[in-house]
Amino acid sequence: MSKISFLGAGSWGTALAIMLAKKGHQVTLWSKVEAEVSMLLENREHKERLPGVKLPDSIVITTDLEAACSGQELLVFAVASPFVRSVAKEAAAYILPGQKIVNVAKGIEEQSLDTLRDILAEELSQADISVLSGPSHAEEVAIGMPTTVVVGSASKATAIFIQEIFMNEAFRVYISPDIIGIELGGSVKNVIALAAGVCDGLGFGDNTKAALITRGIAEISRLGVAMGAKMETLGGLSGIGDLIVTCTSKHSRNHNAGYYIGKGYSVEEALAKVNQVVEGVHSAKAVSRLAKKYQVSMPIVEQICKVLFEGDNVDNAIKNLLTRDKCMEYPDLGWIEAD
């Protein structure tokens, strides 16, 4: 069994830590938030995020970053996207050359337009950095519900190493070399899920949800291909799979934030109601800027950004989407005209 540290003790990091500890790995769970660590030590349970799910006694819980990073066979970055760079900077002094790191968070940095792996590669250039993503709510993984994800790595050997660590009878792990496709699928879907939540908040039905998801994957695919991702990845677990689960689930903080906005709450009120980091809000501006940079059409992203940051009305956003210029569903398709 392996020595593994999780940096970040939110719901996702905690759920994965519980899963690996039950598999027999030596697990350390780190958080910078002293109150969070105290709560976990006292209750052996993340009462706010994963109520009723007990942490195995074997999990070491700490605020000591040096101790968490030292001597580990794998470091799992489970830090919310806005804090990945700052934690990486703090951890850099304790990361040895070749240290295997897998990032399990999702997002794009607004200022730099870097993916989270890009950030880690910049701040921890000495490390071997991979990503793990897919349709995987912490609330379900923590109680052993069947789940499938994909690991992306530049090295097949590293991908297999991480696959072996995480895979069990209820958590199936695939591997892939398409890191950018995995990251973009996992990041952009959060923005689309905000729009899906808005539609539910407005009381729209299944037709609307199906259209939103389908056109959402079209937008994700256009951007992904332009940035070098593979269509197979965007049609897989970290693309369409993660988009479906995030657009439809009660566990999705992005969907829930959008739902409250659709119900008439302000953006600030909606975020307060969710009371967790809503990754889609942090990624939306970056995705919009990437669309402009790569000259791809992303009308859903464009409209949700207007709602989030320009105070546009959600009814107006829906109208703008439905009344755009007429076009083909897939412009590359054409008719063979009879003579």
The catalytic residue positions are: 189
CA 150 – CA 233 distance, rounded (Å): 10
CA 25 – CA 20 distance, rounded (Å): 6
Compute how many other C-beta atoms are within 10 angstroms of the C-beta atom of residue 140: 17
**Among candidate residues 89, 288, 107, the one with its CA nearest the CA of residue 185:** 107
Q: Mapping DSSP to helix (H, G, I), strand (E, B) and coil, where does residue 166 land?
A: helix
- In this structure, what token pair is assigned to residue 102? 């897998």
Distances in Å between the Cα of 147 and the Cα atoms of 29, 76, 150, 167, 321 are: 22, 18, 11, 10, 34
**Among candidate residues 172, 191, 180, 173, the one with its CA nearest the CA of residue 246:** 191
Residue type, 85: R
CA 149 – CA 235 distance, rounded (Å): 13
Distances in Å between the Cα of 233 and the Cα atoms of 179, 277, 288, 294 are: 9, 26, 21, 19
Residue 275 CB partners (closer than 8 Å, separation 6+): none
CA 180 – CA 293 distance, rounded (Å): 16
**Among candidate residues 93, 261, 108, 115, the one with its CA nearest the CA of residue 179:** 115
Whether the CA torsion 40, 282, 153, 217 is positive or negative: it is positive
